[in-house]
Protein backbone atom coordinates (compact mmCIF):
# COMPACT_ATOMS: atom_id res chain seq x y z
CA UNK A 1 0.00 0.00 0.00
CA UNK A 2 1.15 3.54 -0.78
CA UNK A 3 0.55 5.80 2.24
CA UNK A 4 1.13 9.53 2.79
CA UNK A 5 1.56 10.90 6.31
CA UNK A 6 1.09 14.66 6.60
CA UNK A 7 2.85 15.89 9.73
CA UNK A 8 6.17 14.73 11.16
CA UNK A 9 5.47 15.25 14.85
CA UNK A 10 5.37 12.50 17.45
CA UNK A 11 2.28 10.79 16.03
CA UNK A 12 3.44 11.15 12.44
CA UNK A 13 6.85 9.69 13.24
CA UNK A 14 5.46 6.68 15.11
CA UNK A 15 2.91 6.05 12.37
CA UNK A 16 5.45 6.35 9.55
CA UNK A 17 7.97 4.08 11.27
CA UNK A 18 5.30 1.46 11.91
CA UNK A 19 3.83 1.48 8.40
CA UNK A 20 7.13 1.62 6.50
CA UNK A 21 7.99 -1.87 7.66
CA UNK A 22 5.49 -3.34 5.19
CA UNK A 23 4.29 -0.49 2.98
CA UNK A 24 5.50 2.48 0.94
CA UNK A 25 5.36 5.65 3.08
CA UNK A 26 5.92 9.32 2.27
CA UNK A 27 6.04 11.91 5.06
CA UNK A 28 5.18 15.54 4.33
CA UNK A 29 6.19 18.41 6.62
CA UNK A 30 7.16 22.07 6.06
CA UNK A 31 10.08 21.89 8.52
CA UNK A 32 13.10 19.98 7.20
CA UNK A 33 14.52 19.44 10.69
CA UNK A 34 11.35 17.52 11.60
CA UNK A 35 12.51 14.63 9.41
CA UNK A 36 15.48 14.06 11.73
CA UNK A 37 12.99 12.47 14.13
CA UNK A 38 12.45 9.60 11.68
CA UNK A 39 15.94 8.25 12.29
CA UNK A 40 17.85 5.59 10.39
CA UNK A 41 15.06 3.00 10.66
CA UNK A 42 12.77 4.94 8.32
CA UNK A 43 12.65 3.41 4.85
CA UNK A 44 10.33 5.84 3.10
CA UNK A 45 10.40 9.28 1.49
CA UNK A 46 10.43 12.69 3.13
CA UNK A 47 8.94 15.62 1.20
CA UNK A 48 9.30 19.18 2.43
CA UNK A 49 6.09 21.11 1.97
CA UNK A 50 2.75 22.16 3.39
CA UNK A 51 0.00 19.57 3.38
CA UNK A 52 -2.41 22.28 2.24
CA UNK A 53 -0.28 22.87 -0.88
CA UNK A 54 -1.45 20.90 -3.90
CA UNK A 55 2.03 20.95 -5.41
CA UNK A 56 3.54 19.47 -2.25
CA UNK A 57 0.98 16.68 -2.30
CA UNK A 58 1.74 15.99 -5.95
CA UNK A 59 5.47 15.77 -5.17
CA UNK A 60 4.58 13.32 -2.42
CA UNK A 61 2.83 11.11 -4.97
CA UNK A 62 -0.76 11.81 -4.00
CA UNK A 63 -2.02 10.67 -7.42
CA UNK A 64 -0.81 7.15 -6.70
CA UNK A 65 -1.56 7.06 -2.97
CA UNK A 66 -4.06 4.64 -1.50
CA UNK A 67 -4.28 6.18 1.97
CA UNK A 68 -3.48 9.44 3.75
CA UNK A 69 -3.24 10.34 7.43
CA UNK A 70 -3.32 14.03 8.41
CA UNK A 71 -1.63 14.20 11.82
CA UNK A 72 -0.27 17.74 12.17
CA UNK A 73 -0.69 19.67 15.43
CA UNK A 74 -3.61 21.66 13.97
CA UNK A 75 -7.14 20.25 13.85
CA UNK A 76 -8.12 22.71 11.14
CA UNK A 77 -5.17 21.81 8.93
CA UNK A 78 -5.81 18.10 9.37
CA UNK A 79 -9.45 18.36 8.37
CA UNK A 80 -8.79 20.60 5.36
CA UNK A 81 -6.02 18.27 4.16
CA UNK A 82 -8.36 15.31 4.59
CA UNK A 83 -11.10 16.99 2.58
CA UNK A 84 -8.71 18.03 -0.20
CA UNK A 85 -7.30 14.55 -0.59
CA UNK A 86 -10.70 12.90 -0.40
CA UNK A 87 -12.62 15.25 -2.70
CA UNK A 88 -9.91 16.37 -5.12
CA UNK A 89 -7.71 13.30 -5.38
CA UNK A 90 -10.32 10.69 -4.39
CA UNK A 91 -8.03 8.82 -1.99
CA UNK A 92 -10.04 5.82 -0.69
CA UNK A 93 -8.69 5.86 2.88
CA UNK A 94 -8.33 9.24 4.59
CA UNK A 95 -8.16 9.91 8.32
CA UNK A 96 -7.55 13.05 10.37
CA UNK A 97 -6.25 13.34 13.90
CA UNK A 98 -8.13 15.82 16.09
CA UNK A 99 -6.99 17.16 19.43
CA UNK A 100 -10.35 18.59 20.45
CA UNK A 101 -12.80 15.67 20.73
CA UNK A 102 -15.75 18.05 20.56
CA UNK A 103 -14.84 18.81 16.97
CA UNK A 104 -14.79 15.17 15.98
CA UNK A 105 -18.57 14.91 15.60
CA UNK A 106 -18.63 17.96 13.34
CA UNK A 107 -15.89 16.57 11.12
CA UNK A 108 -17.48 13.14 10.94
CA UNK A 109 -20.69 14.78 9.70
CA UNK A 110 -18.57 15.98 6.79
CA UNK A 111 -17.70 12.37 6.09
CA UNK A 112 -14.17 12.58 7.49
CA UNK A 113 -12.94 9.71 9.63
CA UNK A 114 -11.20 11.06 12.72
CA UNK A 115 -9.18 9.83 15.69
CA UNK A 116 -9.30 11.89 18.89
CA UNK A 117 -6.31 10.68 20.86
CA UNK A 118 -7.27 12.67 23.96
CA UNK A 119 -10.64 10.89 24.13
CA UNK A 120 -9.03 7.50 23.65
CA UNK A 121 -6.42 8.23 26.32
CA UNK A 122 -9.01 9.45 28.81
CA UNK A 123 -11.11 6.33 28.29
CA UNK A 124 -8.11 4.04 28.84
CA UNK A 125 -7.16 5.89 32.05
CA UNK A 126 -10.76 5.65 33.25
CA UNK A 127 -10.67 1.92 32.56
CA UNK A 128 -7.54 1.42 34.66
CA UNK A 129 -9.02 3.46 37.53
CA UNK A 130 -12.55 2.06 37.57
CA UNK A 131 -12.09 -1.44 36.14
CA UNK A 132 -8.72 -2.86 37.22
CA UNK A 133 -8.15 -6.43 36.11
CA UNK A 134 -10.01 -6.08 32.82
CA UNK A 135 -7.57 -5.94 29.93
CA UNK A 136 -8.55 -4.06 26.77
CA UNK A 137 -7.02 -5.79 23.74
CA UNK A 138 -8.69 -3.77 20.97
CA UNK A 139 -10.29 -0.34 20.65
CA UNK A 140 -12.82 0.71 18.00
CA UNK A 141 -13.49 4.25 16.89
CA UNK A 142 -12.19 6.66 19.51
CA UNK A 143 -12.46 4.06 22.24
CA UNK A 144 -16.25 4.10 22.63
CA UNK A 145 -16.30 0.30 22.20
CA UNK A 146 -13.44 -1.93 23.28
CA UNK A 147 -12.72 -5.64 23.21
CA UNK A 148 -11.87 -6.92 26.67
CA UNK A 149 -10.15 -10.12 27.73
CA UNK A 150 -11.30 -11.51 31.07
CA UNK A 151 -10.03 -14.56 32.93
CA UNK A 152 -12.96 -16.09 34.81
CA UNK A 153 -12.24 -16.36 38.56
CA UNK A 154 -13.01 -19.42 40.69
CA UNK A 155 -16.08 -17.73 42.20
CA UNK A 156 -17.83 -17.83 38.81
CA UNK A 157 -17.15 -21.52 38.10
CA UNK A 158 -20.40 -23.20 37.01
CA UNK A 159 -22.39 -19.96 36.62
CA UNK A 160 -24.12 -19.15 33.31
CA UNK A 161 -22.64 -16.41 31.19
CA UNK A 162 -25.96 -14.55 31.22
CA UNK A 163 -25.57 -13.85 34.94
CA UNK A 164 -22.29 -12.05 34.27
CA UNK A 165 -23.20 -10.11 31.14
CA UNK A 166 -24.89 -6.67 31.26
CA UNK A 167 -28.21 -6.53 29.43
CA UNK A 168 -27.18 -3.70 27.10
CA UNK A 169 -24.11 -2.54 25.14
CA UNK A 170 -22.09 -5.71 25.69
CA UNK A 171 -21.58 -8.79 23.55
CA UNK A 172 -19.67 -11.98 24.31
CA UNK A 173 -17.49 -12.60 21.27
CA UNK A 174 -15.67 -15.80 22.25
CA UNK A 175 -14.63 -17.99 25.13
CA UNK A 176 -11.38 -19.98 25.13
CA UNK A 177 -11.15 -23.16 27.20
CA UNK A 178 -8.21 -25.56 27.06
CA UNK A 179 -6.93 -23.77 23.96
CA UNK A 180 -10.17 -24.11 22.00
CA UNK A 181 -12.50 -21.20 21.24
CA UNK A 182 -16.24 -21.05 20.70
CA UNK A 183 -18.95 -18.40 20.48
CA UNK A 184 -21.02 -18.72 23.68
CA UNK A 185 -24.66 -17.88 24.30
CA UNK A 186 -26.04 -16.58 27.59
CA UNK A 187 -26.74 -20.13 28.86
CA UNK A 188 -23.09 -21.15 28.47
CA UNK A 189 -21.69 -22.40 31.81
CA UNK A 190 -18.45 -20.72 32.76
CA UNK A 191 -15.44 -22.55 34.15
CA UNK A 192 -12.68 -21.02 36.26
CA UNK A 193 -9.75 -19.89 34.07
CA UNK A 194 -11.92 -19.59 30.96
CA UNK A 195 -10.70 -16.69 28.82
CA UNK A 196 -13.69 -14.57 27.85
CA UNK A 197 -13.61 -11.95 25.09
CA UNK A 198 -16.30 -9.28 25.34
CA UNK A 199 -17.04 -6.25 23.19
CA UNK A 200 -18.49 -3.49 25.37
CA UNK A 201 -18.85 0.21 26.04
CA UNK A 202 -17.17 1.77 29.07
CA UNK A 203 -20.45 1.98 30.98
CA UNK A 204 -21.39 -1.65 30.38
CA UNK A 205 -17.94 -2.96 31.27
CA UNK A 206 -18.21 -1.17 34.62
CA UNK A 207 -21.47 -3.07 35.25
CA UNK A 208 -19.79 -6.33 34.22
CA UNK A 209 -16.90 -5.64 36.58
CA UNK A 210 -19.37 -5.17 39.43
CA UNK A 211 -20.98 -8.50 38.58
CA UNK A 212 -17.58 -10.15 38.29
CA UNK A 213 -16.63 -9.26 41.86
CA UNK A 214 -20.05 -9.74 43.40
CA UNK A 215 -19.61 -13.41 44.28
CA UNK A 216 -16.18 -12.88 45.75
CA UNK A 217 -17.69 -10.55 48.35
CA UNK A 218 -20.47 -12.88 49.44
- pLDDT score recorded for residue 218: 42
Distance CA 96, CA 190 (A): 42
Neighbours of 112 (CB within 10 A): 21
Domain end (from 80, 98, 117): 117
- Three-point CA angle 59, 62, 63, nearest 5°: 105
* Total domains in the fold of the chain: 2
CB 27 within 8 Å of CB 16: yes
Is 0.75 topped by the overall pTM? no
pLDDT in tens, 73-94: 998 899 999 999 999 999 989 9
pLDDT in tens, 126-172: 655 665 566 777 777 767 888 888 888 888 999 999 999 988 899 99
Residue 10 lies in domain = 2-117
**Largest Cα–Cα distance in the chain?**
68
Question: Are 112 and 134 within one domain?
Answer: no
Question: Are 99 and 12 within one domain?
Answer: yes
Question: Are 7 and 92 within one domain?
Answer: yes
Q: What is the CATH number of the domain that holds 200?
A: 3.30.70.1450
Model confidence band, residue 66 (pLDDT cutoffs 50, 70, 90): very high
Amino acid sequence: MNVIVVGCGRVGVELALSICRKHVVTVVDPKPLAFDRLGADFHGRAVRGDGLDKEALLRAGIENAEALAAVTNSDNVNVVVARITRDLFHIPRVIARVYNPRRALVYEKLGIQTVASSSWGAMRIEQYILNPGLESVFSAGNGEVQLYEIIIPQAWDGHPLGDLMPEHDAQAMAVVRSGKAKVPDRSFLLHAQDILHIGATGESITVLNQHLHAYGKE
